[in-house]
Amino acid sequence: MQTRNIMIVGVGGQGSLLASKLLGRLLLDKGFDVKVSEVHGMSQRGGSVVTYVRYGEKVYSPIIDKGEADFIVSFELLEAARWTEYLKTDGRIVTNTQQIAPMPVITGAAEYPENLVEKMAAAGLQVDAFDALSLAEEAGSAKAVNLVLMGRLSNYFDFTEAEWQEAIEKSVPAKFLELNRKAFALGRGA
């Protein structure tokens, strides 16, 4: 099979490392070769962050290049718009509609673009946009946005819910398991 590519993008500190850990676990258990590339260090401090998850029979490059991503999973709307060039023409964006103003917007040096979901769709991109933050809060914590997004993403894969749940169990500390299960279910059902 051809290598499949998932990009997870967001704002440093939003919890994308747990999402990639979960995907890595699931895909390894399913017998794929897997590579996951993370960002550490300076860009983590509230900056734009990206994680690459690649799987297939044999994966070489640890990174995803322009035009290669099957999915872009975004924790924040502006970040989804930032990385569209990395999506395959038939790829799909799964994004939280939450908006977090970057510093140039806070200081007034730039504007946060309006109607990004509509603009992405008009550009010919397949966009699945929803309010993951509200679902995470419903599950019990704003921090569970990562699992809500994974739940939503799971609808586009053939893996069973039990397989996803098993991967969650292996990736999440026991005391947060219930919260994360609930968040995943809400995302999957949304």
Partner 1 sequence: MKRLMLGNEAVARGLYEAGCSFVSSYPGTPSTEITEAAAAYQEIYAEWAPNEKVAMESAFGAALAGKRSFCGMKHVGLNVAADPLFTIAYTGINAGMIIGVADDAGMHSSQNEQDSRHYARAAKVPMLEPADSAEALAFAKAAYEISEQFDTPVFLKMCTRVSHSQSVVEPGERTEHAKAYEKTPQKYIMMPGNAKKRHPIVEARTAALTEYAETSPLNRVEDGECDEIGIITASTCYQYVKEAFGSKYPVLKLGMAWPMPEKKIRDFAASVRKLVVVEELEGFIENHCRQLGLDPVGKDVFPLIDELSQNTVAEKLGKKAEGGIKLAEAIPNRPPVMCAGCPHRGLFYTLAKNKVTVMGDIGCYTLGAVPPLAAIDTTICMGASIPNLHGFNKANGGETSAKTVAVIGDSTFMHSGMTGLVNTAYNESNSTVIILDNSITGMTGHQQNPTTGMNLKGDPATKIDLEALCRAIGIRRVRVVDPYDLAACDAALKEELQADEPSVIISRRPCALLKYVKHKKPLTVDADKCRSCKACMKIGCPAISMKDGKARIDNTLCTGCGVCMQLCKFGALTGEEA
- Cα 107 to Cα 10, 83, 104: the distances in Å are 20, 23, 5
CB-CB contact of 140 with 177 (8 Å): no
CB 89 to partner 1: min, Å: 7
CB 139 to partner 1: min, Å: 15
CB 39 to partner 1: min, Å: 7
Mapped onto helix, strand or coil, the DSSP state of residue 65 is: coil
Residue with tokens 């290049």: 65
Stretch that binds partner 1, among 98-106, 153-161, 162-170, 174-182 (CB under 8 A): 98-106
173 binds partner 1 (CB under 8 A): no
Give, as ranges, the residues between 112 and 141 that touch partner 1 (CB under 8 A): 112-113, 116, 119-120, 123-125
CB-CB contact of 50 with 39 (8 Å): yes
Q: Cα–Cα distance between 41 and 48 in angstroms, integer?
A: 12
Q: Please, which residues have CB within 8 angstroms of residue 177's CB and are 6 or more apart in sequence?
A: 168, 169
Burial class (CB in 10 A: 0-12, 13-18, 19+), 175: exposed
Give the interface size with partner 1 as a residue count (CB under 8 A): 62
CB 113 to partner 1: min, Å: 5
158 binds partner 1 (CB under 8 A): no
Q: Which residues bind partner 1 (CB under 8 A)?
A: 11-13, 24-25, 28, 33-48, 59-63, 65-67, 69, 78-79, 81-82, 84-89, 91, 100-107, 109-113, 116, 119-120, 123-125, 142
